[in-house]
Amino acid sequence: MAPTAAAMVMNRAPKTILITGVSRGLGRALAVEMAKKGHTIIGCSRAQDRLNSLLDELSSSQPPQDNNKNNPSSSKHLLMKVDVRSDSSVQVLARAVMETKGIPDIIVNNAGTINRNNKLWEVPVEEFDTVIDTNIKGIANILRHFLPLMLGRKQGIIVNMSSGWGRSAAAQVAPYCASKWAIEGMSRSVAKELPDGMAIVSLSPGVVNTDMLASCFGSSASLYRTPEAWAPKAATLILNLSVADNGASLTV
């Protein structure tokens, strides 16, 4: 069904968008694309130096009317060093967001990692834990602290980045597959808990040439589209999500 005129106007209205894992890859490309469209970006990552360079890029990407004439270097965006694996770190983020930007309209749980190609029984314990803690607990931590804020106004869209390997399986990436299958299940379960007016979806980005893909595919990862080529289509899809998509498993 084609979106109504009212829905299209609403989609064009500036939104506040929280994206985790913005320091590189899909998260960074998506943040830049959303900023170009005039939206306010709240981003987090563990890499402060990359956050600094991204803030400069976001500020130069935002439309001229969004720039502060008295201070051209100012930015309407908020980027913070946060480890989504840490509940207390996410709690600090939520407090800062509420104090400075208000409740996000859209949350994109993008932060993720993958294990080095290996049979499950040969994956080091610490590496397995990192995948689970980042990909599953990281999303749970964000939901724990931001969902109650969004529930108060019964409005908001949450996008949990999944994978084709969250709906199928592959050898040597069992921890990653397990985490993405968990994201699919968690998203569908939470969808049943949300009030009318809200939606949560799992979104597979498709095959994109990121550092994670290169860790699996090696040099052949370069045969696939870049995050920058992926971002415009992904941004359009995310901005057009509605309550009718609640619980869906989608692909860019």
Any idea which residue has 């379960």 for tokens? 189
Selection from 23, 22, 47, 33 nearest residue 252 by Cα: 33
Q: Is 224 an annotated catalytic residue?
A: no
Any idea which residue has 């990281």 for tokens? 138
Whether the CB-CB separation of 149 and 94 falls below 8 Å is answered with yes
Whether the CB-CB separation of 162 and 143 falls below 8 Å is answered with no
Query: Percentages helix, strand, coil for the chain, rounded to the nearest 5?
Result: 50, 15, 35
Structure tokens at 22: 């913005």
Whether the CB-CB separation of 138 and 87 falls below 8 Å is answered with no
Q: Which of 176, 179, 202, 235 is catalytic?
A: 176
Catalytic residues: 176
